[in-house]
Structure 1
Amino acid sequence: MPDPRIDVVVLTMNDRPSEEAAAQETLLAQAGVDVRVCVVGNGCEPQIVPPGALTVSLSKNLGIPGGRNAGAGALGREPDPAEWLFFLDNDASFPRTDVLARLIAEAQKRPRAAYVQPRLTGPDDVTTPRRWVPRLRASRPERPGTITTMTEGVVLVRREAFDAVGGWPAEFFLYHEGLQLAWQCWSAGWNGWYAAGIRMHHPLTSPARHALFHRLAARNRIWVAYRNLPAALIPLYLTAWTTITLTRAVRSGGVSETLRGIREGWTSRHRQDRHPMSWHTVWRLTRVGRPPII
Structure 2
Amino acid sequence: MRHLRVGVAILTMGNRPAELRALLDSVAKQDLRPAHIVVIGNGSPLPPLPHGAVGVELSENLGVSGGRNVALDELRKLGDVDVVVDLDDDGLLISPDVFSRLAELHTRDPELGIVSFRIADERGRTQRRHVPRLRAGDPARGGLVTTFLGGGHSLSVPMLDRIGGWPDDFFYAHEETDLAWRALDDGWHIRYAPELVLQHPYTSPTRHAVYHRMVARNRVWLAKRHLPAVLVPLYLGVWAALTAVRSPTAAGLRAWAAGFAEGVRTPCGRRRPLRWRTVWRMTRLGRPPVI
TM-score between the two structures when normalised by the length of structure 1: 0.95
| 2:195 match: secondary structure | strand
Tell me by how many angstroms 1:164 deviates.
1.7
The CA distance in 2 between the partners of 1:81 and 1:56, in whole Å, is 19
Alignment deviations for residues 148-193 of structure 1 (CA, whole Å, 9 cap, x no partner): 1111121011011123211111101101100001001011111200
Among 169, 172, 186, which residue is 2:170 paired with? 172
Q: Answer yes or no: is the 8 Å Cα contact 2:3–2:103 preserved in 1.
A: no
Say if 2:64 is the partner of 1:67.
Answer: no
Amino acid at match of 2:147: T
Alpha-carbon contact 2:217-2:260 (below 8 Å) kept: yes
Alignment pair present for 1:277 and 2:274: yes
Counterpart of 2:47, as a letter, is Q
- For the residues of structure 2 that align with 1:256 and 1:13, how far apart are their CA atoms? 28
- Could you tell me how far apart the structure 1 residues matched to 2:31 and 2:181 are? 32
User: Which residue pairs with 1:32 in the alignment?
Assistant: 32
User: Which residue of the partner structure matches residue 83 of structure 1?
Assistant: 82
Q: In 2, distance between residues paired with 1:15 and 1:275?
A: 38
Partner of 1:106: 105
CA distance in 2, matches of 1:156, 1:142: 18
1:30–1:273 distance in 2 versus 1, CA, 3 Å: same
CA contact (8 A) 1:3 1:33 kept: no
- Verify: 1:290 aligned to 2:287, yes or no: yes
Identity %: 40
Distance 2:71 2:172 in 1: 16
Across the two proteins, how many residue pairs are aligned to each other? Answer: 291
Aligned partners of 1:227 and 1:274 also within 8 Å: yes
The aligned residue for residue 154 of structure 1 is: 152
TM (norm. structure 2) is 0.96
CA distance in 2 between counterparts of 1:250 and 1:36 reads 42
1:143 alignment partner in structure 2: 141
- CA positional deviation for 1:252: 8.5
Q: What is the deviation of 1:253? A: 6.0
* Partner secondary structure for residue 45 of structure 1: coil
Aligned with 1:258 (options 256, 259, 264): 256
Q: 1:107-156 deviations in whole A, cap 9, x for unaligned?
A: 222221110111111122x2111111011101111101101111112101
Question: Residues 188-230 of structure 1, C-alpha deviation per residue, up to 9 Å, x if partnerless?
Answer: 1112001122211111111101110010011111111111111
* Residue in structure 1 matched with residue 130 of structure 2 by the alignment: 132
Contact kept in structure 2, 1:106 and 1:195, CA below 8 Å: no
* TM-superposed deviation, 1:36: 1.1
Shift of 1:271: 4.2
Unpaired segments ≥5 residues, structure 2? none
In structure 2, the residue matched to 1:20 is 20
Query: Which amino acid in the other structure matches residue 275 of structure 1?
Result: R
Q: 1:271 to 1:91 in 2, by over 3 A?
A: closer
Aligned to 1:247: 245
The answer for the alignment partner of 1:187 in structure 2 is: 185
CA drift at 1:233: 0.6
| Higher alpha-carbon deviation: 164-173 or 39-48 | 39-48
Equivalent pair of 1:17/1:48 in contact (CA under 8 Å)? no
The code of the aligned residue for 2:129 comes to R
Task: Give the match for residue 51 of structure 2.
Answer: 51
2:93 alignment partner, SS class: coil
| Structure 1 residue runs without a partner (length 5+) | none
